[in-house]
Amino acid sequence: MTLPRIAVDAMGGDEGVRAMVAGAALARRRHDRFKFLLVGDEARIKRALDNHPNLRGASEVLHSPDVISGEEKPSQALRRARTTSMGMAIEAVKKGDAGAAVSAGNTGALMAIAKVALRTMPGIDRPALAALLPTLGANDLVMLDLGANTDCDARNLVQFAIMGAAYSRIVTGLAEPRVRLLNIGTEEIKGTDVLKEAANQLKAATGELALSFDGFTEADKLSRGDIDVVVTDGFSGNIALKALEGTARFVADLLRRSFASSLRSKVGFLISRPATELLRHHLDPNNHNGAVFLGLNGVVVKSHGSATALGIANAVAVTARLLEENLTERITADLARLGEDNLKKRVRAAEKA
């Protein structure tokens, strides 16, 4: 199967061209059906391609004279989008020159440019940023929103749940992903009025959507593996994500320090090395790289700014899978199946009952 080519913002991320081109090359070695539009400084990209002949024949280079910095405000980035590598990569998706775009650059700028260029899907008020998080279960956890929308109403959260479930069905293969709302407790009386209203709407939609909803979850349960999608506003979601990432680094650093504390500990490390390597692999963000802006008329994937070539390759693989599985079409079908008027009727009926 030949996929639409993927536009790569080759200038984004901490290491820029070197890591982005190396990541695309690694993805190409794993899946030879991938084709790319590499956007950025043409001379630098071509020099990087000299080290990856397998990628050269599967790529076209699109020169851009400007780059969006990590400190640039979204409003400033929007004004310069047409001449930047990030803006031109997204414009390629809009024009149909690429099926999707990948960038490791400024998240706020990427969101703003993508939203203006691609617009939101019919039936979606706001796009959301979703990512995969490791768990103790068989599947990763889809979490959204992770910072695109700091203030959300119940309607937004319901739409996030629909989009997150569609994404989860693609990456996990589950027919009905288990969806929960992030809250300060699992009891129905806990939380804000917005959370309670969103829960009522999702309960009322049971049977209409390909998901299983059963109320709230708390942040300390996110990694257990008994939830497939967790939905929250971008403010709480970003805080929860940073706390999880910080805890993972704390555990890794603590283990490293403990094993280096004495000769006996060093011997213990050698004995337990297979287990610690498995832990390191599980906690490495490069192995779960690739956050997705859901709800746009096009696929846009955000890579960690500090991602290695392995992380970039994984982000490309996520992008390709979303193209293969027709993510936007799945979300559109779910929204059409539910219907806002139908949902309101179900909520009123549930309240009367």
User: Are residues 3 and 19 both part of a single domain?
Assistant: yes
Summarize pLDDT for 199-233 with one digit per residue, the tens. Answer: 998 888 777 777 889 899 998 888 888 899 999 99
User: Are residues 126 and 82 both part of a single domain?
Assistant: no
HSE-up (13 A, CA, CB side) for residue 296: 28
Is 306 within a domain?
no
Is 314 within a domain?
no
Is 55 within a domain?
yes
Angle among Cα 55, 57, 60 to the nearest 5 degrees reads 85
Is 303 within a domain?
no
Q: Are 231 and 144 in contact (CB under 8 A)?
A: yes
The four Cα atoms 124, 129, 130, 133 give a dihedral, to 10 degrees, of -160
Number of structural domains, the chain? 2
Q: Are 124 and 297 in contact (CB under 8 A)?
A: no
User: At which of 89, 118, 147 does a domain end?
Assistant: 118
User: Are residues 73 and 136 both part of a single domain?
Assistant: no
User: Are residues 133 and 252 both part of a single domain?
Assistant: yes
C-alpha–C-alpha distance, residues 260 and 256, integer Å = 6
Give one DSSP letter per residue of 67-119, joined into a string. ---TT--HHHHHHHGGGBHHHHHHHHHHHTS-SEEEE-S-HHHHHHHHHHHH-
User: Are residues 206 and 260 both part of a single domain?
Assistant: yes
Is 271 within a domain?
yes
229-231 and 59-63: which strand pairing? unpaired
C-alpha–C-alpha distance, residues 293 and 285, integer Å = 18
User: Are residues 198 and 326 both part of a single domain?
Assistant: yes
User: Are residues 243 and 218 both part of a single domain?
Assistant: yes
C-alpha–C-alpha distance, residues 210 and 177, integer Å = 7
Q: State the residue range of the domain holding 190.
A: 122-292+321-353
C-alpha–C-alpha distance, residues 213 and 227, integer Å = 10
Q: Are 11 and 61 in contact (CB under 8 A)?
A: no
User: Are residues 240 and 129 both part of a single domain?
Assistant: yes
User: At which of 118, 148, 173 does a domain end?
Assistant: 118
User: Are residues 158 and 195 both part of a single domain?
Assistant: yes
User: Are residues 72 and 157 both part of a single domain?
Assistant: no
Q: What pLDDT is recorded for position 320?
A: 86
Q: Which amino acid is at 238?
A: N
* 353 residues of the chain, pLDDT tens digit each: 566 899 999 998 777 888 899 999 988 888 888 889 999 999 999 999 998 988 888 899 999 988 998 888 989 889 999 999 999 999 999 999 999 999 988 888 999 999 999 999 888 899 999 988 888 888 888 999 888 888 899 999 999 999 999 899 888 888 889 999 999 988 888 889 999 999 998 888 777 777 889 899 998 888 888 899 999 998 998 888 888 777 777 777 777 777 676 666 665 555 555 545 554 555 555 566 778 999 999 999 988 877 788 888 888 888 888 888 888 888 888 777 766 555 555 545 545 54
CATH of the domain at 92: 3.40.718.10
Q: Which amino acid is at 200?
A: N
Please, is 221 exposed, middle or buried when counting C-beta atoms within 10 Å of its C-beta (0-12, 13-18, 19+)? middle
User: Are residues 275 and 151 both part of a single domain?
Assistant: yes
pTM greater than the 0.85 cutoff: no
Is 316 within a domain?
no
Q: Quick one: CA dihedral 132, 134, 138, 143, positive or negative?
A: negative
> What totals of helices (H) and strands (E) does the chain contain, helices first?
13, 11
User: At which of 73, 103, 118 does a domain end?
Assistant: 118
Is 315 within a domain?
no
Is 312 within a domain?
no
**Phi/psi at 5 (5° precision):** -70, 155
Helix (H, G, I), strand (E, B) or coil at 61: strand
Strand ranges of the sheet holding 36-40, from the earlier edge strand across to the other edge: 59-63, 36-40, 6-9, 100-103, 299-302, 291-294, 128-133, 141-144, 229-231, 178-182, 212-217
CA 352 to chain centre: 38
At 205, list the tokens: 């939609």
Q: Are 296 and 127 in contact (CB under 8 A)?
A: yes
User: Are residues 247 and 172 both part of a single domain?
Assistant: yes
Helix (H, G, I), strand (E, B) or coil at 62: strand
Q: What pLDDT is recorded for position 263?
A: 66
